[in-house]
């Protein structure tokens, strides 16, 4: 048996995959990922981070053939990918591959839709390329985790570049060898730092992943090559960016086990470890049925990660999305946690400010990662407790199609596209039958 390079094996996998071999459940998961992605991008269509990226790109963009989601304009495919990837991931409200904390769809889907608009590929071709690109992305992510992120690499941006390159290579019909080169060229473009996560520089990394992955595929299509071991070589991606990578994770059970099938979707636009807090508070509120004034104190217990990220003063929207106190306050005061509930009016809402002061965070080393235990003490002395270990949206409790549709409608409303939401949802569910992506993209333009 010949040992292949990792990129070589991935190249064959991507180039030789047959849509007819993709199980219905996996095809459906691809559409769920796309629906969630498009909704997230629509929801922030008016955010300055998105409109600024659009404005900068417009001054340099070529033939306007690719839709910028929720904007009235089109750009060339590379520029459109950049803006759409930024939008999809802007609030971290998109999807999560929990093993790596990669947001898989934002860097991959925008490049595929943009190329499909330019060259007329079918909906099924886009869905297939998405699954293959997302699979490459998550597998490379698995191989370099956890050392990669711990060292400072924003894994959605870095591994997203591979995902976009592999997906675009498939869509363009590249050979196995060309796809291998595209993935290798992506290795020389993978960038993005955790240090920059609280700022717009993070968005640039995500946008570039989509844009540069497409560039890698386009260059490989025209004959550009990369080193055979661009991923696993002694001076290649895995060792340069990570400590103790597990290269075999890239190709183990390739084609039979799908990492992208483990994609999850967020019900709340908050950091993923806060979802258990929100769920527990929502459930307690429904069960106890008392107004916030009747609550004397709330104690939230969780592991070290929850406390390190979430025990903080809330001064702005970014704080609110990673706050134990704000999460609990929303559950008890507003009984919901939608996009608007993390924006500035909510940050400064006197009822939420007052309730946040009643919340205490407490370390409990026995709690699993992503879990939370909430104890409520009422003014009358009664005490209630709820522990959530598998929050809504987790692998064990996935969002239903109906919940994803509701999330899409909410996002569409916020972005000003509510009237078209149902048509866009229907077009997404029918994407595997669509001869092109024109109708769906027109609904989002």
Query: Is residue 235 involved in binding a copy of itself (CB under 8 A)?
Result: yes
Angle between helices 155-171 and 77-89 in degrees, nearest 10: 140
Asked if 160 contacts 127 with a C-beta cutoff of 8 angstroms, the reply is no
Q: Closest Cα partner for 163 from 189, 197, 186? A: 186
CA pseudo-torsion sign 129, 133, 139, 142: negative
**Of the candidate residues 39, 43, 77, 393, the single one contacting a copy of itself (CB under 8 A):** 77
The smaller minimum CB distance to a copy of itself, of residues 52 and 175, is found at 52
Query: Is residue 67 involved in binding a copy of itself (CB under 8 A)?
Result: no
**Of the candidate residues 61, 168, 352, 421, the single one contacting a copy of itself (CB under 8 A):** 61
Helix (H/G/I), strand (E/B), else coil: 384: strand
**Of the candidate residues 208, 373, 394, 428, the single one contacting a copy of itself (CB under 8 A):** 208
- Torsion, Cα 31 34 36 41, to 10 degrees, reads -160
**Of the candidate residues 46, 120, 201, 383, the single one contacting a copy of itself (CB under 8 A):** 201
**Of the candidate residues 99, 191, 261, 351, the single one contacting a copy of itself (CB under 8 A):** 191
Could you list the beta-strand ranges (E) of 113-217: none
Query: Is residue 294 involved in binding a copy of itself (CB under 8 A)?
Result: no
Instruction: Pick the piece of the chain touching a copy of itself (CB under 8 A) from 122-130, 221-229, 261-269, 344-352.
Output: 221-229
Strand pairing report for 359-363 and 295-302: parallel
Query: Is residue 85 involved in binding a copy of itself (CB under 8 A)?
Result: no
Scan for tokens 């608007």, then name that residue.
Answer: 340
What is the per-residue DSSP string for 88-101? HHTTS-SEEETTTT
Query: Is residue 356 involved in binding a copy of itself (CB under 8 A)?
Result: no
The smaller minimum CB distance to a copy of itself, of residues 175 and 387, is found at 175
Instruction: Pick the piece of the chain touching a copy of itself (CB under 8 A) from 21-29, 35-43, 177-185, 283-291.
Output: 177-185
Other CB atoms within a 10 A radius of the CB of residue 253 amount to 10
Instruction: Pick the piece of the chain touching a copy of itself (CB under 8 A) from 236-244, 307-315, 344-352, 361-369.
Output: 236-244
**Of the candidate residues 223, 289, 345, 381, the single one contacting a copy of itself (CB under 8 A):** 223
What does the alpha-carbon distance between residue 430 and residue 445 come to, in Å, rounded to a whole number?
Answer: 18
The smaller minimum CB distance to a copy of itself, of residues 5 and 93, is found at 5
Centroid of chain to Cα 192: 15
Q: Closest Cα partner for 22 from 132, 174, 120, 137? A: 132
**Of the candidate residues 134, 192, 370, 415, the single one contacting a copy of itself (CB under 8 A):** 192
Query: Is residue 79 involved in binding a copy of itself (CB under 8 A)?
Result: yes
**Of the candidate residues 36, 212, 264, 428, the single one contacting a copy of itself (CB under 8 A):** 212
Q: Closest Cα partner for 432 from 20, 27, 25, 134? A: 27
Query: Is residue 240 involved in binding a copy of itself (CB under 8 A)?
Result: yes
Residue ranges in contact with a copy of itself by CB under 8 A: 48-49, 52-53, 55-56, 59-63, 76-79, 151-154, 157, 181, 184-185, 187-205, 208, 212, 215-216, 218-219, 222-227, 229-230, 233-237, 239-241
């Amino acid at each position: 048996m010949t040992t292949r390079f990792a990129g070589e094996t991935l190249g064959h996998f991507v180039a030789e995959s047959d849509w007819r071999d993709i199980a219905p459940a996996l095809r459906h998961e691809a559409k769920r990922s796309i629906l969630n992605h498009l909704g997230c991008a629509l929801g922030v269509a008016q955010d300055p981070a998105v409109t600024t990226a659009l404005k900068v790109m417009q001054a340099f963009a070529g033939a306007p053939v690719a839709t910028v989601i929720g904007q009235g304009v089109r750009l060339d495919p590379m520029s459109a990918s950049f803006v759409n990837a930024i939008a999809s991931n802007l609030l971290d409200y998109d999807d999560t591959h929990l093993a790596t904390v990669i947001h898989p769809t934002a860097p991959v889907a925008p490049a595929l839709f943009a190329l499909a608009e330019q060259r007329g590929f079918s909906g099924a071709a886009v869905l297939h390329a998405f699954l293959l690109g997302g699979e490459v992305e998550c597998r490379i992510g698995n191989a370099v985790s956890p050392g990669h992120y711990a060292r400072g690499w924003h894994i959605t941006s870095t591994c997203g570049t591979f995902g976009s390159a592999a997906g675009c290579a498939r869509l363009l019909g590249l050979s196995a060898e060309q796809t291998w080169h595209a993935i290798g060229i992506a290795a020389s473009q993978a960038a993005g730092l955790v240090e920059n996560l609280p700022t717009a520089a993070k968005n640039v990394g995500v946008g570039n992943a989509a844009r540069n992955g497409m560039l890698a595929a386009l260059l490989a299509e025209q004959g550009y090559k990369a080193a055979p071991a661009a991923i696993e070589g002694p001076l290649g991606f895995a060792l340069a960016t990570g400590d103790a990578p597990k290269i075999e994770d890239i190709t183990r059970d390739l084609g039979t086990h799908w990492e992208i099938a483990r994609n999850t979707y967020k019900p709340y636009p908050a950091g993923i470890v806060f979802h258990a807090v929100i769920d527990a508070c929502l459930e307690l509120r429904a069960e106890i049925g008392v107004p916030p004034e009747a609550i004397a104190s709330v104690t939230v217990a969780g592991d070290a990660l929850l406390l390190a990220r979430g025990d903080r003063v809330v001064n702005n929207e970014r704080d609110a999305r990673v706050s134990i106190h704000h999460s609990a306050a929303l559950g008890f005061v507003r009984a919901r946690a939608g996009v608007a509930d993390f924006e500035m009016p909510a940050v400064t809402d006197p009822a939420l400010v007052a309730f946040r002061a009643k919340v205490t965070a407490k370390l409990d080393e026995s709690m699993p990662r992503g879990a939370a235990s909430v104890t409520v003490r009422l003014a009358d002395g009664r005490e209630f407790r709820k522990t959530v270990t598998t929050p809504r949206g987790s692998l064990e409790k996935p969002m239903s199609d109906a919940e994803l549709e509701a999330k899409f409608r909410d996002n569409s409303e916020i972005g000003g596209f509510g009237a078209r939401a149902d048509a866009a949802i229907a077009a997404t569910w029918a994407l595997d039958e669509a001869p092109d992506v024109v109708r769906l993209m027109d609904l989002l333009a």
